[in-house]
Structures are given as C-alpha cells and as structure tokens.
Amino acid sequence: KAAIHRICSGQVVLDLAAAVKELVENSLDAGATNIEIRLKEYGAVLIEVADNGSGISPDNYQGLTLKYHTSKISEFSDLQSLSSFGFRGEALSSLCALSNVSVTTRTKEEAIGTRLDYDHSGAITSQQSVARAVGTTVAVAKLFAPLPVRHKEFTRNIRREYGRLLSILQAYALIAKGVRIVCTNQVGKSGRSTVIQTQGSGSVKDNVITVFGIKTAACLEPLELSAMDVGGQSVKVEGFVSKPGAGCGRASGDRQFFYVNGRPVDLPKISRLLNELYRSFNSTQCPMAVLNIMLPTQSYDVNVTPDKRKVFLHMEADFIVSLRTALESVYAPDKY
C-alpha cells in the first residue's frame, strides 16, 4: 500500500499522444516485436494498438483496469531498477474512464482469444471467445467523450493533438530495436494511409532511415561517448546529431529525441545546448538529434510527472559540461 501511494502522481492520460504512448509502452513491456497502431480520424474516433506480445492471462482480465493494479511492480524499491515502462497501473483504468475500451487477447497457454468490453468504471460488461493470434489488441473508441468540454476542445484541436502523437510515436520507433512499429490512419471514406513504419531492424540508424528517409539520415553524424565520468558516475551517450552545414537544419527542435536508458524523455537544457552550438553555423536553425543517455538507475528519477517524460538527472549540470565538450568537437568550426 505504501508503495502505491508514493507512485501515484495524477492523471496519466491528458491528451491523445499520452493515450497512444501508454498503449505502445504496454506492448513493449509485453515483449512485442510487432506493434500496429491503427487510427480512425487521427485517433478521434478510434485508436487500436495490436501487438504480438505475451497476451493477458484470464486471472488478470478484471484487475488490469483497476487503478493501481499492475503486474509490473511489487515494492517501491523495484522502481530503482525499473526496466519496464509501466509501473503505476493507471493507464488502462484512466482510459476506461475517458473512452470505450475493449481488449482482445490471447496467451500462448490458450487455444483461442477473448474479447473483453469495459465500462467507464473499468468493470467488464461482456466477454466472448474470438479468433486471435497470441498477443493483445486494445481498442480505445471516442476518447474524452465522457468529458464534453474536453471532448469539444479535443476534436477542435485534433490536428495538433495528432502532431504530438506522431512525434511521440517517432521517438519510440527510432529507439526500439528489433520491434516493427507501424502506424496507419484512416480519414473519411479514403483508404488507410501509413504514417510511420519501421522494419524491426537492430539499429537506430536503420530506424532513422525508415522513419525520416535516407537523405535525412545522411545528414547525421554519430556521437558516441563511452564511460564519461560525470560526478563520479560512469555515463555513456549514443546517438546522432546533425552535421553542421549538411543542409538538414530544422526551423524548430521538432526532430530532437532524447532518451534515458532507452526511455523517451524531454531534456530541454540539452536541447538548448545543442541549438546554441549549432547556431554558430546556422543562426536560425536547430539540429536534429537522437541521443540515448545511459546511466546508472540510481542517478536519475523518472517519476517526476504523470506522463514520465520529465526526468530529474541528479548530475545534470556536470553532465551538460561533459556533453558540451563532446559536442564542441563535433561542432568545431575548423572541422567544416
């Protein structure tokens, strides 16, 4: 119980992007190697996330939509060595309250799949056997419909909500090695169009190529920092940054992706550092970046905000000094 109170930090599903992020994280946590996100009307009508992960066993059917019920953490101390994305057991219960949720799932122990429908309180309203390969599909229909004011604002700003959704999906698609991620959208009576697609390759570089194209990938310079000493801790950084002058600068920082131990996060100070160094070459643009910072789990805290995108790096100031030195050699004026 104590653990439950310490990790609950408010509503997790504030927008469309957060809804999809939570569902994709659940698929990744279930060990999926294939994840398909199918949207209708940019997600306003329907969001379906289908995976080939472990599936959900029947004894978990009711529990999964109860607040703070999770299969992923038993004690607060587990948070220190957390390897799964989910740990609060809030996403599905929040989604039930905010939309019409159904789950179709099958584990390898079962011969047939099961479709479950949930009401807004998270109770199962129907359960039936259906054909399904091993894995899980979670369908979220009419997001925010139970909150009329929020729903109105949501549908009015659907393109902006959708933009944020795409950039969060891009962040997962770039870093997920060996996981094929496909997102399609269907608008009106037109056909389904593919908006993101990766091949499940083993390299981030290949993912950059499939998500942004070969030309963009060619503008990137690898950045590898191994075992930097940051305040007595060993930190590694792996990724790519735009080469100066390669012609792939962006008007905004919309293609900057930061990760801590593979978890997508916002790192505004690091973004500012990159922009500042890049601007000595191109005064109006921002570089693209895909940077995964690997550091010991006890040297950062991911549970600062409900959506877990803000992290607190215990030695951020020291880290920025080290990163600046490394980036200055990429962005050294005499190199270009």
Q: Which residues bind Mg ion (CB under 5 A)?
A: 26, 86, 91
Q: Please report how close the Cβ of residue 250 comes to ligand ADP at its closest, in angstroms.
A: 32
Helices (H), 157-203: 158-175
User: Which of these ranges, 25-33, 112-120, 239-247, 255-263, lies near ligand ADP under the rule CB under 6 A?
Assistant: 25-33
54 is a site residue for ligand ADP (CB under 6 A): yes
- Residue 174's contacts (CB-CB under 8 Å, 6 or more residues apart) are 204, 207, 208, 211, 257, 290
- Which range binds ligand ADP by CB under 6 A, 24-32, 187-195, 212-220, 243-251? 24-32
Among 18, 42, 86, 154, binds ligand ADP (CB under 6 A): 86
**Which residue blocks in the chain are alpha helix, DSSP H?**
2-7, 16-29, 91-98, 148-156, 158-175, 204-212, 214-218, 268-278, 316-330
Q: Does 150 bind ligand ADP (CB under 6 A)?
A: no
Cα–Cα dist 95/40, whole Å: 17
Instruction: List, in sequence order, the alpha helices (H) in 65-213.
Output: 91-98, 148-156, 158-175, 204-212
Nearest residue to 84 (alpha-carbon basis) of 22, 135, 139, 33: 22
Asked if 51 interacts with ligand ADP (CB under 6 A), we say yes
Q: What single DSSP character describes residue 271? A: H
Residues in the chain: 336
Q: Which is nearer to Mg ion, 92 or 260 (CB)?
A: 92
CB nearer to Mg ion: pick between 138 and 289: 138
**Residue 77 CA: distances (Å) to CA of 73, 74, 82, 90, 297:** 9, 9, 9, 19, 12
Amino acid at 88: R
Residue of 88, 132, 263, 309 interacting with ligand ADP (CB under 6 A): 88
**104 binding ligand ADP? (CB under 6 A):** no
**70 or 285, CB closer to ligand ADP?**
70
Q: How far is the CB of 25 from ligand ADP (least distance, A)?
A: 7
- Judged by beta carbon, residue 26 or residue 207, the one nearer ligand ADP is 26
* Chain residues 57-76 in contact with ligand ADP, contact rule CB under 6 A: 60, 64, 70-72
Q: Looking at 56-64, 228-236, 278-286, 321-329, which segment touches ligand ADP (CB under 6 A)?
A: 56-64
Report, in Å, the least distance between residue 294 CB and Mg ion.
23
- List Cβ neighbours of 66 (8 Å cut-off, separation of 6 or more): 89, 93, 122
Tokens of 303: 């549970």
The residues binding ligand ADP (CB under 6 A) are: 22, 26-27, 30, 51, 53-54, 56, 60, 64, 70-72, 86-92, 136
